[in-house]
Amino acid sequence: MSLQLGTLEEMILIILLMKDETYGVEIAKEYKNQLGQSISLPAIHVVLKRLEKKGFVNSRMGESTPERGGKGKRMYQATNKGYEVAQEIQHARTKIWSTIPKLNFSIA
Amino acid sequence: MSAEKHPPKWALRLLEFFLRPDYADEIQGDITEAYYWRMEEESRFKAHFKFILEVLKSLKPTNLKSFYHLSLNTMIFRNYLKVAFRSLLKRKSTSFINIFGLSVGVAAFIFIFLYTNQILTFDDYHENKNRIFMVYKERITPDGTQETYDTWVPMKDRLTESYEQIEAAARIYDSEARIKKSNQYIEEDIIYTDASLFEVFTFPLLHGNPKDVFPNKNSIVLSVEMAKKYFDKENAIDEELEIFLPDEDTTFRFRVSAVIAEIPENLTHQPDLMIEMEALPFYGDFANEWGNSFLDTYIMLKNGGDEAQLESAFPELVESIFGMETRENTNFKLLPMADFYDTFIGNKANARTLLWIGIGILFIAIVNFMNLSTAQASKRAKEIGLRKVLGAFQGQLRTQFITEAFVMSLFATIIGVGLVLLLIPSFNAFFDVTITLEVFSLSEIIMMILALAIVLGLLSGSYPAFYLSSIGAIEVLRQRLGFGGTKFRNALVIVQFSIALFLIACTLIVRNQINFMTQKEMGFDSEGLMAIRASPSDFTDSEVGMNKINTFKTELASKPYVKEITKSRHVPTFWSRSFTFVRPDEWTGDPLRMRFTFLDANFFDTYGIAIKHGSNFLPDTEGDQRLSVILNEAAIKAFQFDPNEQNVVRVGETRLNVVGVVEDFHFETLQNEVAPTLMLHRTAESGAHRNISIKMDMSNLVERIEEIEAMWNDLGSTREFTYSFMDDRMQILYEDEERYLGMVTMFSVISIVVACLGLYGLTLFIIEKKRKEISIRKVLGAEVSTVLKLIFGEFTKWVAIAFIISVPIAIYFADDWLQSYYYRIDISWLTFGLALVIVLALVILTVGYQSLKAASANPVKYLKDE
């Protein structure tokens, strides 16, 4: 299975896994909340489209609200495949991380 | 919620129009929601800014509608294009006239644009151009102010110390250098300057440290051309150059410390070699010299510095340097960099006039298109009627005609650009200029071409589109259509004629002024007069040099073809720029500032300058007559002397006897008035002279010049044999004017050709329209001449109206241009008469053949249809 996933793609996939079902602005809020960095919506949109194309998320049109100027939301949900990929990356990363030499404070 | 708390509507509409419908809701909605969220979290300004940014970022290709979904109907669009091409091909003669006329117009316009752009953006390359000023002095005299631009060596430091609003200042002294290259000397221009020059002006370094351009006393900065010329490479750092500086009579070794990158051509300063003034051993002699002024001082104000405020502080400075008395009659001024070109090089107004001529030519070509397409209306009426019957809206027809105009103007622009590319080398060679397309990047050029094509298309297509699309379907199908838009078309033709008449008149006036200047008596006899540069400083040892020059002169004088010979410091066309203060004896007023020069006793005989009063200097054999002076008539007038009396003038405490008065002779362009000059005597052997002038027999010229050159080369000077004939030098004085005349003439001819082309096309239509009328008249017994009168009558009327319009405009502009010449022609009515005759002749030629053909045709041919 391909692990081709960019850092931003991974972050957003994880945010999607955190939530049951979510959309662009909420992802932006969560991203800022978790990482303390703001992110532009077009960047999120690109990533979502890419994830959807790879089959890691799927989406449906949701209801509209007045603060959206009457426009509908597109709700995204991570797929099982998405979960697996994310998990696999975490495993692989933990494994590699463990091979980093530990700091050694002993004088010898 | 107040209205301003909403995201801008236009941005949302932009998204609506361009985004894929299946993405649109999500993107618009998300961005809008985020806008309100950010407004709470951050600030209104930030929310707004980010919103716009996100809208723009959302417009990426993957999010856009495909071309076909844009609400343009591409099917009909293709049909427009197809019809446009068809109609271009169908009416070959009009299409040719349109496209050819327009491309010539475009080419002419581009040439003018490139040339004038170079002039109008002169010195724009310097990043701080708005803060750079040259400090100059202004002398207040009873009859106005006199500006001189040279300043003193200590001026720079005095300024920077006295005024904190000056950020940096630099001095430039232009001089010459002889570079020693394998026992040969090559002349180059050099400037003595300060390291701060690189702060004030923008001269980017290719190599070297911009913070420290002159690290050592023997550092020299080269232009990249010089680096390539002397070292065959761009990185010439640490290479050495041996240079003889004639000003200082010494040879130095310099080490290259920096190389300047290539800079544009249109800069006042084009330094080739630069050395640091303060590092020169003789700098100390001048460091506090407030007597002689000979260099340029430039300052750069701090951001927000006010030059007017600085200027108002200068009288104090003058007083602190020169004392109370000088404060009364001298002031320092600041010359903004934008005025350098007009002050030292040329005339931006001429460039602006050329630009207007370019726009005029384009306009004539556009008018051609408008006229021909509306005149064609009757021919296209059936097509228009049919389209309307089939349900075309007026707007659609308008789009169609504008499309046609676009296709045509795009063609014309591309051909025009092709012509420019083809002809740039010839243009440069012919006018001795260096225009190039390389100042613009490829994308800029493409943008400009497209912009030009769109503007042309809109201008030339809008009226025909409006007019043609308004034709009613019923009138068309009933064949009741008139020869519409006549009044508007006539007005346009009159404007064309006015432009043509204006240009012809201006060309004639410029030509007359130049002829006047080149043919006016200069007050001396320039025939066979040759000037040779010969100065003791042209030799590594000036003592030896002086002797060698004297030998050279004696040898020259012995040649049979040398009729007269003289030595002088200056020669006409390269006249004295040295000034001194003179006052007549017993004169209590302010001293007058006058030019002075040195010459030997034979000068006036050689130059054929008449002595009006008194006598010439005694022959040189009588020795130096230091206390004698000869004045020109202008000086006599300035002193209000009675020329028949024994007059005495004083320079400082020295009393000079005025021994003679010579007739005024012109020593520079006739743009300026003859200035009062003191001519002082120095014997031919004196070191004060820099030129030898000979009056020679002009036969076998080539051999003789070769002989003289060989004689010069034997002397072993550091200067190559430099000679010129006075006749040529006088021509060179008017190079700028000649170039201007050449351009104005060329572009006038082009504008007239284009106008005639349009006229020709129009004639064809008028004749076709009037064919039946002509035929009936002929059947009823009209002569050919009567019929011709009918056709010509109208054109003559147009030309007459155009004449009335253009004459006052031409007088206004020509007078404005002539203002800048002290010796100028009067505008004569003959000029306008001639312009009128030329235009009428061209009209008759253009219209004549077709008219004659129509008038003499057999009327039966055109009447039998009905």
pLDDT above 70: residue B68 = no
Strands B628-632 and B529-533: what pairing? unpaired
C-beta neighbour count of B774 within 10 angstroms: 23
Measured CA to CA, the distance from residue B636 to residue B639 in angstroms comes to: 5
pLDDT above 50: residue B354 = yes
pLDDT above 90: residue B171 = yes
pLDDT above 80: residue B71 = no
Please tell me the pTM assigned to this model. 0.72
Residues forming beta bridges with residue B504, ordered by sequence position: none
Rg (CA), chain A: 17
Nearest CA in chain A to B32: A68
Which residues, at least 6 apart from A32, have a Cβ–Cβ distance to it below 8 Å?
A: A38, A39
Of B7, B32, B57, the CB nearest to A42: B57
pLDDT of B220 reads: 94
* Contact residues on chain A for B34, CB-CB shorter than 8 A: 24-25, 28, 41
Which of A28-42, A51-65, B138-152 is predicted least confidently? Answer: B138-152
pLDDT above 50: residue B381 = yes
Q: What are phi and psi of B661, to 5 degrees?
A: -130, 125
Of A40, A49, A69, the CB nearest to B29: A69
Q: Which amino acid is at B576?
A: S
Measured CA to CA, the distance from residue B512 to residue B479 in angstroms comes to: 55
From the list B641, B645, B629, the residue with the least C-alpha distance to B678 is B629
Of A24, A40, A46, the CB nearest to B26: A24
Which of B195-204, B281-290, B638-647 is predicted least confidently? Answer: B638-647
Smallest Cα distance from A104 to chain B, Å:
45
Which residues, at least 6 apart from B694, have a Cβ–Cβ distance to it below 8 Å?
A: B529, B530, B532, B556, B562, B563, B564, B565, B566, B606
Residue carrying structure tokens 């203060």? B581
Which of B110-124, B773-787, B792-806, B851-865 is predicted least confidently? Answer: B851-865
Which of B107-116, B536-545, B697-706 is predicted least confidently? Answer: B536-545
pLDDT above 80: residue B608 = yes
* Contact residues on chain A for B62, CB-CB shorter than 8 A: 46, 49
Of residues A5 and B179, more confidently modeled:
B179
Mind listing the pLDDT tens digit for each residue in B288-327?
888 778 899 999 999 988 889 999 999 989 998 888 878 8
Of residues B516 and B482, more confidently modeled:
B516
Contact in structure between B795 and B854 (CB atoms under 8 Å): no
Segment B523-548 mean pLDDT: 87
Of residues B857 and B412, more confidently modeled:
B412
pLDDT above 60: residue B662 = yes
Kindly determine whether residue B26 and residue A41, on different chains, have CB atoms separated by under 8 Å: no
Kindly determine whether residue B58 and residue A71, on different chains, have CB atoms separated by under 8 Å: no
pLDDT of B280 reads: 84
Kindly determine whether residue A61 and residue B25, on different chains, have CB atoms separated by under 8 Å: yes
Mean pLDDT of chain B: 85
pLDDT of A1 reads: 46
Of B7, B30, B57, the CB nearest to A25: B30
Kindly determine whether residue A72 and residue B29, on different chains, have CB atoms separated by under 8 Å: yes
Question: Which residues from B are below 8 Å from A when comparing CB atoms?
Answer: 7, 12, 23-34, 36-37, 50, 53-54, 57-58, 60, 62-63
Give the number of beta-carbon pairs within 8 Å between A and B: 69
Segment B493-514 mean pLDDT: 90
Which residues, at least 6 apart from B808, have a Cβ–Cβ distance to it below 8 Å?
A: none
| Distances, alpha carbon B618 to alpha carbons B276, B571, B623, B678, in Å | 46, 21, 8, 17
Smallest Cα distance from B27 to chain A, Å:
8
Of A23, A46, A69, the CB nearest to B28: A69
Segment B590-597 mean pLDDT: 82
Contact in structure between A41 and B54 (CB atoms under 8 Å): yes
pLDDT above 50: residue B339 = yes
String of b and e for B297-314 (b: at least 16 CB within 10 Å)?
bbbbbeeebebeebeeeb
Smallest Cα distance from A40 to chain B, Å:
7
Residue B84 pLDDT grade (very low, low, confident, very high; cuts 50, 70, 90): confident
Nearest CA in chain A to B7: A69
pLDDT of B866 reads: 53
pLDDT of B477 reads: 62
Of these ranges, A60-74, B68-82, B332-346, B852-866, the one predicted with the greatest mean pLDDT is: B332-346
Mind listing the pLDDT tens digit for each residue in B223-265?
999 999 999 998 999 999 999 887 777 788 999 999 999 898 8
pLDDT above 80: residue B835 = yes
* Contact residues on chain B for A43, CB-CB shorter than 8 A: 57
Maximum distance among all Cα pairs of chain A, rounded to whole angstroms: 69
Mutate which of B6, B13, B19, B25 to test chain A, going by most A C-beta atoms within 10 A? B25
Residue B2 pLDDT grade (very low, low, confident, very high; cuts 50, 70, 90): very low
Kindly determine whether residue A45 and residue B58, on different chains, have CB atoms separated by under 8 Å: yes
**ipTM here:** 0.82
First to last CA, chain A: 45
Segment A45-67 mean pLDDT: 85
CA dihedral B306, B310, B313, B319 (to 10 degrees): 180
Query: Percent of chain B, pLDDT > 90?
Result: 24
Mutate which of A48, A61, A68 to test chain B, going by most B C-beta atoms within 10 A? A68
pLDDT of B401 reads: 82
Mind listing the pLDDT tens digit for each residue in B468-494?
777 776 666 665 555 556 778 888 889
Question: Which residues from A are below 8 Å from B when comparing CB atoms?
Answer: 23-25, 28-29, 40-46, 49, 61, 64-65, 67-69, 71-74
Q: Which domains does chain A have, with CATH numbers?
A: 7-97 (1.10.10.10)
Contact in structure between B48 and B75 (CB atoms under 8 Å): no
Segment B393-405 mean pLDDT: 81
Measured CA to CA, the distance from residue B671 to residue B59 in angstroms comes to: 60
Alpha helix stretches (DSSP H) within chain A: 7-18, 24-35, 41-54, 80-98
Query: Percent of chain B, pLDDT > 70?
Result: 95
